[in-house]
A and B are shown apart, each in its own frame.
Chain A
Amino acid sequence: MHVFADPTNFDAYLSGFIWILKLTGASAVFALTLGVLLAAMRVSPVPVLRGFGTVWVNIFRNTPLTLVVFFCFFGLYSTLGLTLSDDLDLNNFWLGVIGLSVYTASFVCEALRSGVNTVPAGQAEAARAIGLSFAQTLRIVVLPQATRSVIAPLGSILIALCKNATIVGTIGLMESSNVMKQLINDNGDAVIMIFLVFAGTFAAFLIPTGYAFGWLANRLAVKR
């Protein structure tokens, strides 16, 4: 453990994971909001909205996240001059959040849409029969049931988001993977230990999270 006994290294390790947590939290909020909106668009009666949702999903689901994040930095920031903060780290952080959010939103949208498919048609028909509008049907009757049936996929999307947050390291943010690379380069004698500590931290957080989502999905699933 001599590598992490050094306070500088330990601080770097901590700050690496704090960046990951911040990236995950901020992107999760944006991605979920955007994903719900996109899903609503994709099932809406207005063709233009449906088309927009479809194009969005097809573009971002099929582009590597690395390229999306790369474009946020070299395209939006370097070329188009989009500056989100004067602080370099914070600027990279927000550029990363944009990339992660637009990418993850397409997966949230698809998960929700497949959840809508699990809701029996009778539910929506009954809702319409009592005079609810499309927006009301979606908001009050369909989406709540759909959400409960897609908790497990949403859980894996959030877990993947947390792991994907490491990719923001590509644009220079010193998140955990960059810190690990640095430590490995400086301490060639302890590479396995360093890897086990970093990978173990992710595993220690994400494996229980996965099981928790599985448990929650079972508990909240609409029994049919």
Chain B
Amino acid sequence: MSTDSVLYDHPGPRARIRNAVLSVVFGVALAGLLWWIYSKFDEAGQWEGQLWKPFTEATTWTQFIGPGLLATLWAAAVGMVLSLAFGIIFAVGRLSERRWISIPSGAVVEFFRAVPLLLMIFFIFYGVPFVIKGPVTAFWAVVIGLTLYNGSVLAEAFRAGIRSLPGGQSEAAYAIGMRKSQVMQLILVPQAARAMLPVIVSQLVVLLKDTALGYIVAFPELLQRGVNDLAANKGNIVAAAIVVAAIYIVINSLLTALANWLDRRSRQRGFRAQRRIATGATPVGGNTVSEPQG
């Protein structure tokens, strides 16, 4: 159902007046709220030029925001590759007919989906060094944490994708004499991966946002370098937070647009999983809604 048109009639003269009045009332209230926020910031002196001036200087971008952004993207890229591998392996493992493979795989996936990412990162960063008798870098603490969590979410997405493929696909493959592993590799996983592409991309948004947790273990990513360190030097924490938030929003909006485009494209080509089974990990109802992790 298209939400724009069907919930209400095409506005007649009275409805149009009412809508206009509502628009004005809400617009005024909103403007008032924004003005109030503005004046609160003003009282605290947050609009003074010197707080915003650092963003016109090249060093702010080359020393703080640029390296932070690179570290964020790098961690996200490595995390994405590893979690895709993790997701495929455990999705296939969970679908295995051998119970000694499927039950442990299922347990691993369920466990890492239920544990807060921050807890994982703390354990890897502070706890694992006691076990392996050597340090773990903040980068790997973040990337491994991201891999375990997002890999588990992707594993569920893949599993739903594989299960939603028409049964005839694997039957035909068995009929021409393929083994189970070949059916998975050649027939099911490629199709599921394509059907699940939008979900995968929106999970990348989640993964990219989650790299901000690296701030907590002093990994020099965008939040650490661009807000914390920059503000420590220039004393402009509100301004820095607003600029960095804008950067995150731009990157993630681009990725979301990519996910929507992929979704539309796969739908146009009539390539869509026949009956997507909504699991906890993939609330697929046409829209790609990803899990709102930090």
Q: Point out residues on A near B: beta carbons under 8 Å.
A: 42-49, 52, 58-59, 61-67, 70-71, 74-75, 78-81, 103-104, 107, 110-111, 113-121, 124-125, 128, 134, 137-138, 142, 149-150, 152-153, 155-157, 159-161, 163-167, 169-170, 176-177, 180-181, 184-185, 188-189, 191-192, 194-195, 198-199, 202-203, 206-207, 210, 213-214, 217
Contacts and interface: CB of A to CB of B under 8 A. Distances in A.
B292 A176 contact: no
A152 B280 contact: yes
Given A153-B283, A170-B216, A180-B122, A43 B130 contact: no
A28 B114 CA distance: 18
The size bracket of the interface on B is 35 or more
Interface of B: 1-4, 6-9, 11, 15, 19, 22-23, 26-27, 30, 40-41, 44, 46, 110-111, 113-120, 122-123, 126-128, 130-131, 205, 209-213, 215-216, 223, 227, 231, 237-238, 241, 244-245, 248-249, 251-253, 256, 278-281, 283, 285-287, 289, 291-294
23 contacts: A43-B4, A58-B249, A62-B256, A64-B209, A64-B248, A70-B223, A79-B46, A79-B237, A110-B289, A117-B287, A120-B1, A152-B278, A163-B116, A169-B216, A170-B215, A176-B119, A181-B122, A184-B123, A184-B130, A191-B126, A192-B131, A199-B119, A210-B280
A156 B7 contact: no
B127 A194 contact: yes
B291 A160 contact: yes
Most interface-central of A75, A116, A150, A210 (chain B CB within 10 A):
A75
What does DSSP make chain B's interface, helix, strand, loop or mixed? helix
What does DSSP make chain A's interface, helix, strand, loop or mixed? helix
B2 A191 contact: no
A191 B213 contact: no
A184 to B, nearest CB: 5
A202 B115 contact: yes
A157 to B, nearest CB: 6
Contacts of B122: 177, 180-181, 184
Nearest to B23: A48
A156 B278 CA distance: 11
